[in-house]
Amino acid sequence: MQTLLSSPYKAVLFDMDNTLFDFIASMKRGSAAAAEFLGVGTEEEIFSYYLRWKYHVEDHMNLQDFMIAHDCFSVEKYFAAVEVYEAAKHAGLVPYEGIRELLDALKAGGYKLGIVTDAYTYGADMRLDVCGLKEYFDVIVGYDMTGYKKPHHEPFECALSLLECEPHDALYVGDSIRRDIEPALAVGLTPVYAKYGDRNFFETNSGIPAKTLVAERPLDILKILQEPCF
| DSSP secondary structure code for residue 12 in this structure | E
| Spans of the chain, pLDDT less than 70 | 1-6, 201-206, 228-230
Cα(198)–Cα(24) distance, integer angstroms: 10
Could you give the 3-state DSSP secondary structure of residue 28? helix
H/E segment holding residue 63: helix 61-69
Same domain, 177 and 155: yes
Q: How far is CA 202 from the centre of its chain?
A: 16
Where does residue 210 rank: exposed (0-12), middle (13-18), buried (19+ CB within 10 A)?
exposed
Say what the pLDDT of residue 7 is.
Answer: 76
Q: Report how many domains make up the chain.
A: 2
Beta bridge partners of 112: 11
CATH of the domain at 217: 3.40.50.1000
Domain that holds residue 74: 24-90
Distance (Å, rounded) from C-alpha 33 to C-alpha 218? 30
CB count in 10 Å sphere of residue 164: 10
pLDDT digits 0-9 by tens, 97-146: 999 999 999 999 999 999 999 999 999 999 999 999 999 999 999 999 99
Q: Which of 199, 159, 158 is nearest to 179 (CA)?
A: 199
Residue 98 lies in a domain: yes
Q: Do 41 and 134 lie in a common domain?
A: no
Does the bond joining 183 to the residue before it have cis omega, within 30 degrees of 0?
no
Cβ(50)–Cβ(57) under 8 Å? Answer: yes
Cα 25 to Cα 139: distance, rounded to the nearest angstrom: 26
Residue 2: per-residue pLDDT: 43
113 and 69 share one domain: no
193 lies in the same domain as 221: yes
Is 145 a member of any domain? yes
Query: What is the reported pLDDT for 170?
Result: 97
- Do 121 and 218 lie in one domain? The reply is yes
Are 154 and 205 contained in the same domain? yes
pTM of the model: 0.91
pLDDT value at position 207?
84
